[in-house]
Chain A
């Protein structure tokens, strides 16, 4: 998947679709269980005042990840 970027590179307000998860085992399962299944729409809401973590809208819930976690979620930006 080659126009995929890691989620943490998207700016505030962007929307994207999940293409792939760059994680294995437990981490992968946790991300999946939160709803980050390939094809899911994710909206980047905002960053913490100190830059990290980042809050996302995933299927109606607001969930914040640290940069390192968000990096594992590969997405393709949509308008």
Chain B
């Protein structure tokens, strides 16, 4: 249609009309708009008090100060972890007690109905057990961490984190906003991947996406916490145990951030080379978060989320484990056979077959990795109640030969392994390219495997284990 061409011609005509002033036109136009804006504002805004304290600036002078900036950042991180860990203790115990009370009643019911053993095993010892474990272990920390994190976000703290850390990201060839997307990954890696949309340049967005998995999501916290607490000798008070666990988690997180930066650097020098794009970070004024509303909404939100995930993923996984543990192929259970098959490779990494298998089976959701592992160890599939750290230590160290190396490798692999199913699905949906999605799966796993193998070889060579 000639309207299309006519519109195109208009552009040419306009160019001729404005002639050689074209160069300064853009500047002039924006200046006119801002002049108008400035004049209106001057006219319309007044201050009701001559003594105004610029609280935002005062706060930022501390929060982003050369001396206090980093310590405060770590401090806040540590406090959030500590509150999550310590705060989750009692609710977890309480929930576990309730769930297991119900489990005993269910067992009685099954006996009373003369139900077949396998049905009881599958439904109660497998499905219900896994469900109970995941909910009592996962729900409290998530219902505490998420609201806390949301409060921090609401208050406006996250851009300050990006402001503090940007130099590292710049050196790693990454976009400044990657600090923000990385922070989102602490809650959930899938959410972190979606957050990567704030990075406009596709190259830098991809780097942020591919490295998001190196920060542990909420689903991996309990695993890391349990393992960190594991190596506490003797019986210590809950407070001290929580403090040590917090330290352990904090160290792991810092390590995760370091790996993020390193891999970003690697990617920006090899597969994803390119020019850094310009980025402007706005530091909005601090706002008082609506504590009440956020807490309530977030807690309800998370509870529903955890419960539905437990039903959809953990319950079937529990059933599966029970089936594998109670059916034989040849003269071993399917479970043991699978674990044995994985064992040689796992051994190289400082793990054992059951651990590796738990990670593999935990692909749909990270929070079921640890429950699957425990259930496999107590094979026969019943979730013996881990009443205390001592029980856990007994199971892992005494009964299954865990050493400090096993614990370390497990923690490292928990940090660096393939993203969970939801995250990979999200990556595919965002990137629409199976090659990047595949890389997103292989990259963290590959790095995790390499680190574990290296540490294991070193430890053995130096006779440290």
Contact = CB atoms under 8 A, between A and B. Distances in A.
Q: Do A and B come from one complex?
A: yes
Determine the main DSSP class of B at the interface with A: helix
A32 B30 contact: yes
A71 B198 CA distance: 24
Interface residues of A, number: 31
Interface stretch (B57-65, B258-266, B345-353, B411-419): B57-65
Contacts of A63: 280-283
Nearest to A64: B281
A9 interface: no
Contacts of A39: 31
Interface residues of B, number: 32
Nearest to B283: A62
Interface in B61-114: 61, 64-67, 69-70
Nearest to B63: A49
Contact of B69 (A49, A53, A64): A49
Contact of A29 (B26, B31, B280): B26
Determine the main DSSP class of A at the interface with B: mixed
Contacts of A1: none
Contact of B31 (A37, A51, A64): A37
A75 to B, nearest CB: 15
Given A61-B282, A63-B283, A64-B283, A53 B61 contact: no
Given A49-B64, A55-B283, A66 B30 contact: no
Interface in A28-69: 28-30, 32-35, 37-40, 45-46, 48-53, 55, 59, 61-66, 68-69
A37 B30 contact: yes
Contacts of A59: 34, 38
B279 A66 contact: yes
Given A30-B278, A30-B280, A66-B170, A49 B66 contact: yes
Contact of A49 (B164, B282, B284): B164
B462 to A, nearest CB: 36
Interface string A5-40: 000000000000000010000011110111101111
B166 interface: yes
Interface of A: 21, 27-30, 32-35, 37-40, 45-46, 48-53, 55, 59, 61-66, 68-69
Given A37-B27, A62-B284, A66-B170, 6 more contacts: A46-B65, A49-B65, A50-B165, A62-B282, A63-B282, A66-B279
